[in-house]
Each structure stands twice: as structure tokens, then as C-alpha cells.
Structure 1
């Protein structure tokens, strides 16, 4: 089985490049294109192996890669306006908070509002699936666009997302 197409995730502020390297894993590379620090949250679906991290900080212009195993599914989102309470040590975010009290989400999902990028690698018929969801509200512009892997990946997939800042037009 050759390499599959891999989606490119752009939160316009937060960006994640997904490169599929063979059928055993994929690499998600997150880049912060915002003017401020962001904290990506990562959640594996039930039955999927956990990733090496479930949350981290990205300063403006910074990038970080995370590998996902074959068959992984889950979601990513950007958290904004995060801080640690000096009295309690509890970490919280104004949007996308996962409620763990720490930078790592440790199996907790996003508290709305949070724009979600959802992925299933090697799903039905060995295909990768991705979508952008506003089911939990909107906190950052987000776009997922495929980027073919190195071994005959399918380049016919189209970009999907919400690439505008809806916060500026909401009442």
C-alpha cells in the first residue's frame, strides 16, 4: 500500500501541515501565523492511540510537529487568550479551553467556542478523511487543504474550511 494524500490544515492564524509518510504514520506540523500566542489542543477519538502531546504553546511564527499512528482519528483546535493563575496554578483559556487546568488537555475536548479540525487516517477503503466543524462554535479561521504524500497519494481532494474571521461579523 502506497502513501496516501495528506491534508494541509490552515487556521490562518494556526496552521497544521499533515504529511503522510507511508501507511504507518502521519506527521502534523502546526505553525502559528497569528500575531499572538496560541495553544493547540489535540484529542484522540475513542479507540485511537493517544498522541505524544494533547496540548502545547505556539508563539508567533513558531512551528511544532506531532506524529499520529496508522488508523488514528481525532480533532485539533486552537485555544486563545490562555494564562496560568498564579494563586492556583490552574491553566485556562478564553476560547477552546479543555478544562484540564493544564496546557495538556489529557483526554478532554474543547469547551465552545472552538473551531475544530477533525481527521480520520486510513478510514473506510483506506482513505483519509478530514473536515472543519463549527459544531462547537467559532474562535479562529480554519482551512484544511490536502497535500499529497510521497507515494502516489490522491491529489483530487479539495480544501474545506471556514477561512474568514466570523468574530468580526457576529453581534
Structure 2
């Protein structure tokens, strides 16, 4: 019994330290339900621990889990129509280009691009997340929380419809041989402060919805359509993992009620970034408690 106490007390102390410090991590599972390859990019916010990889190839039907540290903030997006120059080795994408010249990203997405934005373990311990079309649109995207708790609503959000076709002609990004591949924001297309919420329009009182932002909002009611579109576009959850799906299938039954958000289930193969079949990791504290119980059982 004394021998057990020698090992048990330090383990219990370690568990207590992790509990009070809130050390935990989340898993982002990136899923490609598009009929074509998507190359996700990830950018960590300033002062936030970076995560790896920052870019990879995601084939149709594939899902790749990425571990995200506690308190992480940043954004994710999908790159499309990517290729690598056979002579120089430079990697480039028609949409979502991050300018690194390689598969992994060292910067953010060049607009237009659909963005998934996160701040984990923020105010009141809540995760804040949204899908933003402020920088334009290139791919349908859905965020679905998994196993969340707390006072947040843990709702799915995103833009699950294809906007490249119906995009206003003056906002369309065209690519030779591909047609319309993305939809620009009015800010990018015209550079007008009224559309950019800059200069004299840099406050919520002066920057209001426009016909162009309303195009995005009417198509995707839960996504950010312009800079101050906070009220209906930011969602919260706590202690959740998140599934980020490219090209999710719209649910017509929910679309009629303004939801447009299907369930989180999907028939995909879960593959690690190294190409190995993977299973979602146990939460850190759960693994720690299992270890403690195993040690207690062994020494008792």
C-alpha cells in the first residue's frame, strides 16, 4: 500500500495540475466531399502556437484529422486547381493561393476564399467559430461541432451552396478552361471604402449591408457577408472537436427553413496526414485518467 502511495500521489498531483490549467486539445477533421481534390491551408493567429501541417492534399472522399492546441486561433480554407511546376517545383493554386510556393502555407489565403475562423477557449472558456465570405468565396464549407458542452449553442454553420455560378458577373473570378472558379468580394473587386468598411465606413454605424453583401447573405444566412455581420454569423461551443467539410451535401428539408446545414455524418475514409488510417485520439485528460487507474490497479 505504501508503495502504491509513492506512485499514486505524484500522478494525482499531475492530473490536478492539468485540470486546473485547462490543458487540452481539439481535433479538426477536414473532410473532402467535393468531386475534385482540395488542398487545405491553415494559418495560426499572431501569438498562437502554430499547428502542423499547414497545408496538404485532400482527395475526394478523404478525411484528415489535425490536432489543435488549447487556446488556438486562426483560419482554415481550401485551395483549388493547384499544380506543381515540373521545371521549378513551385506549387501554386488558382484559388486560395497562400504564396509559399510549396504544399504547406506560410501565410494566409489570397482572396477570394471561403474561410473557417476559430478562437478556441476564448471568453468564458468558449470556442468562437464562423465561416466568412468577407474575403469572397471559392468553395462550399461547413463547420460541425462534435461533442461540445457548455453554454454555447454548438450549431453547425457555413455556406453549403455553390456561389461561383450565380455570382454577379462583375465579381466572378474566371480561369481559362475552368470558367468561374470563385466569387470576389465587392471590396476586392472595386476597392470602394463603402464595401471595405474602411475610412469613413470603418464602424458598425457607418458600414451597412450592400446589394453585394446581401447576395452572399441571402445565399448563406449563417456566414459572414461583410465585416460587421456579427449578430447572425458568430457561433460558440466549448470542449468540442470540429469537422470542417468541403462541398457538404445541402439538406433540402433544412434549406426550406433557412438552415441549409446537413448533419455531421459522412461516408469518408479517415486518413492521417501521412496517409495512414487513423482513429480520433482520446481526449488528453481521459488518457491521463486511464493511465492513473492502470497504475493504481497494478500496485494495489
What is the TM-score normalised by the length of structure 1? Answer: 0.81
Which position in structure 2 is the counterpart of 1:165?
Answer: 162
Give the distance between the partners of 2:151 and 2:111, measured in 1 at CA. 34
How far the C-alpha of 1:23 sits from its partner, in A, is 4.9
How far the C-alpha of 1:88 sits from its partner, in A, is 1.2
Give the distance between the partners of 1:90 and 1:99, measured in 2 at CA. 10
How far the C-alpha of 1:95 sits from its partner, in A, is 0.3
Structure 2 counterparts to residues 11-50 of structure 1, below 5 A:
23-50=23-50
More strand by share: 1
Q: Which ranges in structure 2 are unaligned for 5 or more consecutive residues? A: 1-21, 170-300
Give the distance between the partners of 2:142 and 2:46, measured in 1 at CA. 25
Structure 2 counterparts to residues 20-169 of structure 1, below 5 A:
23-106=23-106, 108-149=107-148, 152-154=149-151, 156-169=153-166
Give the distance between the partners of 1:57 and 1:97, measured in 2 at CA. 14
Give yes or no for contact 2:131–2:157 (8 Å, CA) kept in 1: yes
Give the distance between the partners of 2:42 and 2:150, measured in 1 at CA. 25
What is the root-mean-square deviation in Å for CA atoms of aligned residues?
A: 1.7
- Structure (1 or 2) with the larger CA radius of gyration: 2
Work out which structure has the larger RCO, using CA pairs closer than 8 Å and 6 or more positions apart in sequence.
1
Give the distance between the partners of 2:146 and 2:59, measured in 1 at CA. 25
What is the TM-score normalised by the length of structure 2? Answer: 0.47
Give the distance between the partners of 1:157 and 1:31, measured in 2 at CA. 19
More helix by share: 2
